[in-house]
Amino acid sequence: MSLAESLHRLQQLDNEIQAAQMELASIAQALADSPAVQHARAECARLEQALRTASSELKLRELDAQALAEKIAHEEHRLYGGLIRSPKEILDVERELSALRRRREALDEELLGLMERVEQLQEELQQCRNALRQAEQRFAEDSAALRAQQTALQGSLQALLERRQALAEHLSPYAVQQYEALRARKANKVAVALVRDGVCTQCGQGLPSQLAQQARIGDEVVFCPNCGRILYAP
């Protein structure tokens, strides 16, 4: 293999390496996040929070109801236990009792609403957790295929890197350096241009016949006078 042909082969290997690396990156990203799982997880977290809030609200209202019941029992005991005799005081206690009973009615209604809300949230949370489990299971199944693909691709990449290293070791370090610098500089990552019919296929420039001849022999690095790429005439 001539130098120019070797550099061209190096470029082909680098293209394959780059493609494998890009595919591996996109697989890694696909393995890192599943939108369906993320969405279900966020929804369950939201429901858990809402359930915690509603439950502690319910607990507070239950304590209120208990205190109110005690107060009512106390007043009833005073009224019906014969502890008070004055008609004015009896009237006061009766008024107080009916106010307390009205509050109890309102509170009972509130309690009922809160219990229904807690129950509904528990049901929604249960459904959400089922959905999350299903999404995780589906993702794990999909991931199994992706992981197999990832492993195979890592193997191919390793082989490509070894082939590249073996090839580069047999080339002049200076030529490899020139190739790498050009590849880094060119937007389309093409450092070695093919010559066809005496024309650089990268920029379309017709080449002086002596240059085209040198590119054909390929034992030294020659550059396109127009685009500056290394020329290789297969």
Residue with Cβ nearer Zn ion (175 or 230): 230
Burial (CB < 10 A; 0-12, 13-18, 19+), residue 9, is middle
E-only strand ranges, the chain: 192-196, 199-200, 230-232
Q: How far is the CB of 221 from Zn ion (least distance, A)?
A: 14
Nearest to 200 by CA among 4, 40, 46, 62: 4
Residues 95-124 that bind Zn ion (CB under 5 A): none
Q: Are 192 and 2 in contact (CB under 8 A)?
A: no
* Exposure b/e, 179-189, CB count within 10 A at least 16 = b: beebbeeeeee
Residue with Cβ nearer Zn ion (29 or 188): 188
What does the per-residue mask of binding to Zn ion show for 147-186, with x meaning CB under 5 A?
----------------------------------------
> Is there binding between residue 227 and Zn ion (CB under 5 A)?
yes
Which two three-digit tokens encode residue 28?
């890694």
Q: How far is the CB of 172 from Zn ion (least distance, A)?
A: 22
* Contact pick of 224, 230, 232, 233 for Zn ion (by CB under 5 A): 224
Q: How far is the CB of 35 from Zn ion (least distance, A)?
A: 45
> Is there binding between residue 203 and Zn ion (CB under 5 A)?
yes
Number of residues engaging Zn ion in binding (CB under 5 A): 7
Q: How far is the CB of 230 from Zn ion (least distance, A)?
A: 10
> Is there binding between residue 200 and Zn ion (CB under 5 A)?
yes
Q: How far is the CB of 181 from Zn ion (least distance, A)?
A: 16
Burial (CB < 10 A; 0-12, 13-18, 19+), residue 4, is buried
CA distance linking residue 148 with residue 221, whole number of Å? 42
Give the interface with Zn ion as residue ranges (CB under 5 A).
Answer: 200, 202-203, 205, 224, 226-227
